[in-house]
Amino acid sequence: MSDVAALAESLHPHEVKVAAALDASSDKNGLTDDDIAQHSSLEVAQTSAALGRLQVKGLVSILSEVPRQIVSLTDTGERYFQRYTPMVRIISALRATADTGAQLSIKDIQAREELDAAELSGAIGELRQEGVIRIAAGGLAELTGSSSATADALQKLIKYVHEGAKPLAEFTPAEQALIAKFAQKRGKPNEPFRVDERVVRRFGLTETGHAVARQAQKAGVREEVARLTPEMLKDGSWRSARFRRYTIGLSPARIPAGKKHPYREFLDLVKTKLTAMGFEEMRGGLVENEFWNMDALFMPQFHPARETHDVYFVKEPGHSAPIPEPFLTSVARAHENGGQTGSSGWHYTFDRMRTRRLVLRSQGTAVSARTLAAAPKVPGKYFSIARCFRYDQVDATHAPDFFQVEGIVLGQDINFRTLLGLLTLFAREVAQAQEIRFTPAYFPFTEPSVELHVRHPRLGWIELGGAGLFRPEVTHPLGIDVPVIAWGLGLDRMAMVALEIHDIRDLFSGDLEMIRSKRVQY
């Protein structure tokens, strides 16, 4: 069978009708889908589907694509049609009061006309610029006497478009400018007009297309079976049926699928690794008091990271229930003079009321602090993947809220070298890194403190995490008398590389197409 014959045989009856309509047309510019629908007595949707398939088969091509802009009224526009534009209303309000000799302030106009602030200020600005009104002393508005060309023209246009959507090209350049000025756009949602772009496409048959169309018509629209049905199987009619041949090479339609969010998939992997390494999950609340978020971690109450520019405070309720004893007193003493911890403390008066002030959890270590106070297992390993909040300007490197992967390890055998061992394990298991490096670091609650750097296969040297041995000023007041490792992993950069994104905000992206298109990691 020749290619043409094979193709002709593969055509769906709708495709044959569309091809025939195009073949019969003498218009060199081709036909629009509307034209074809008319000629072939198909629905427009059926025509479009058939045209799509014919294009894929190389039988139809698009001859021209002309974008056309259509002007219609928005809800605001309809309202302006019913009740007139703010400009017209301001002018008539001023005119009406001027007749009575009274004067109106901008506020009066707003109240009288029930305009919202944005509408009002826009319209006032427009009228002032045009010299129709001026604002006299005391914020009183008055008419200058000249009339507003803009207000009149705009009202006329609204009336005209109200009758039905119109192609933009039908308007005069001046009208087009006015429409553009008062059209809805990003950041200006409350304008009267909207301009939508529609593309008008004209289609024609390719050379093969003509041949196939004629071949298909010659063969006539034969009775072919599109699909096998249960009935045909039951009554055996399939035996005499002729099945339409499919074009196998077509790309399949996309189907919706149930899929993990790519960032969650990454976090699940981390979670699995940690439980496999013997870590038990801890949970905590999104809202914490300052005691567990900072005081218990030996961050002095004057620490710079505790100021209003670093932590989000909760408006209502402002404070938690009182901190339970003995923790409140033992922590207060550790801060003031070291208490029983062997420390000299920070030398200041500890404010016990402040411990109850509520904040949005700013570090996952708050969860660890609570675990320490709740009789943890010794030896024990714990982790949490906690949502944390920092008072930062949101940008490509700062998200309003983010996950911290943190935890603790308690045990008699814990020391600086086992801390380095744990970090080495993290480097291998979580980052698949062979090369690692430790540098001294500073955290208010650990001493010694370490930063873990790894050579990432794609990023080069990166900081993978921070860790240290909890200071005795942290553990002792919470009733822990064994050494404790506190560790945290900074995984966002690794996640971003894995997900191929460059803006940290995209970890929580709201773009479904992006989320759907991400491949899985394995």
Partner 1 sequence: MPTISVNRKDLDKLLGRRATDKELEAWLPFVKGEIKDYDTATGELRIELQDSNRPDLWCVEGIARQIRCKLDGKPGPSPYLKTGKRRHDQVLVGKGLEDVRPFIGACKARGYRVTEEGLAQLIQTQEKLADIFGRKRRTISIGLYRLAPITFPVTYALVAPGQVTFRPLGYDDAMNLREILEIHPKGQEYGPILSGQDRVPLLRDATGAVLSFPPIINSRDIGEVRAGDEGLFVEVTGTDLRMVMLAVNIFAANLHDRGATIEPVDIVYPYKTEMGRTVRVPQAFGRPRTITRAEIGKALGAELSLKEVRASLVSYGYAVTGNGQGLTVTLPSYRNDLMHPVDVIEDVAISRGYNTFGPIMPATFTVGGLSRIEQLSDKVRELMLGFGFQEIISNILGSREDLVAKMRLSTGHPAARCIEIDNVMSQSIECLRQWVLPSLLRVETASSRSFYPHLLFEVGEVAVPDPDTETGVRTEVRLSALLAHAGASFSETHSYLALLCYYLNKPADHLTPIEHPSFIEGRAARIELVGPGGTSSIGLIGELHPEVLERWQISMPCSMFELALDPLL
Q: Name which of residues 309 to 348 contact partner 1 (CB under 8 A).
A: 309, 312-321, 338, 341-347
d(CA 294, CA 313): 13
Min CB(513)–partner 1 separation in Å: 4
Verify binding: residue 424, partner 1, rule CB under 8 A: yes
Q: Smaller CB distance to partner 1: residue 13 or 300? A: 300
d(CA 21, CA 162): 36
Min CB(247)–partner 1 separation in Å: 22
Verify binding: residue 381, partner 1, rule CB under 8 A: yes
Secondary structure in 3-state letters for 453-474: EEEECCCEEEEEEEEEEECHHH
Min CB(425)–partner 1 separation in Å: 6
Residues 395-414 that bind partner 1 (CB under 8 A): 399-401, 409, 411, 413
Selected binder of partner 1 within 63, 143, 232, 420 (CB under 8 A):
420
- Give the interface segment with partner 1, choosing from 99-107, 119-127, 302-310, 492-500 (CB under 8 A): 302-310
CB 379 within 8 A of CB 340: no
Name the DSSP letter for residue 492.
Answer: H
Verify binding: residue 187, partner 1, rule CB under 8 A: no
Q: Hey, is 217 helix, strand or coil?
A: helix
Q: Smaller CB distance to partner 1: residue 49 or 287? A: 287
Verify binding: residue 448, partner 1, rule CB under 8 A: yes
Q: Smaller CB distance to partner 1: residue 338 or 490? A: 338
Selected binder of partner 1 within 219, 221, 425, 459 (CB under 8 A):
425
User: Distances from the Cα of 456 to the Cαs of 284, 428, 464, 520, in angstroms?
Assistant: 31, 10, 9, 20
Residue 268 makes CB contacts below 8 A (sequence gap 6+) with 260
What's CA 23's distance to the chain center, in Å? 47
Selected binder of partner 1 within 95, 181, 437, 502 (CB under 8 A):
437
- Write the DSSP assignment of 405-440 as a string of letters: EEEEEE-TT--HHHHHHHHHHHHHHHH--S-EEEEE
Applying CB under 8 A, the site for partner 1 has a residue count of 101
End-to-end CA distance of the chain: 46
Selected binder of partner 1 within 21, 91, 358, 486 (CB under 8 A):
358
Q: Smaller CB distance to partner 1: residue 111 or 378? A: 378
Verify binding: residue 193, partner 1, rule CB under 8 A: no
Binding mask 110-129 for partner 1 (x = CB under 8 A): --------------------
Q: Smaller CB distance to partner 1: residue 84 or 292? A: 292
Min CB(288)–partner 1 separation in Å: 7
Binding mask 238-277 for partner 1 (x = CB under 8 A): ----------------x-xxxxxx-xx---x--x--xxxx
CB 127 within 8 A of CB 151: yes
Selected binder of partner 1 within 113, 290, 473, 492 (CB under 8 A):
473
Selected binder of partner 1 within 170, 235, 281, 500 (CB under 8 A):
281
What's the order of all strands across the beta sheet hosting 193-205?
Answer: 166-167, 60-73, 193-205
Pairing of strands 380-389, 280-281: parallel
Q: Smaller CB distance to partner 1: residue 151 or 501? A: 501
User: Distances from the Cα of 107 to the Cαs of 90, 104, 379, in angstroms?
Assistant: 12, 8, 70
Selected binder of partner 1 within 103, 105, 380, 462 (CB under 8 A):
380
CB atoms within 10 A of CB 123: 24
- Give the interface segment with partner 1, choosing from 11-19, 136-144, 225-233, 385-393 (CB under 8 A): 385-393
Verify binding: residue 475, partner 1, rule CB under 8 A: no
Q: Which amino acid is at 47?
A: T
Secondary structure in 3-state letters for 232-255: HHHHCHHHHCCECCCCCCCCCCCC
Cis omega (within 30 of 0) on the bond before 448? Answer: yes
Min CB(263)–partner 1 separation in Å: 6
Residue 347 Rama label (left phi>0; alpha psi -120 to 50; beta): left
- Give the interface segment with partner 1, choosing from 105-113, 131-139, 206-214, 372-380 (CB under 8 A): 372-380
Selected binder of partner 1 within 439, 459, 481, 502 (CB under 8 A):
439
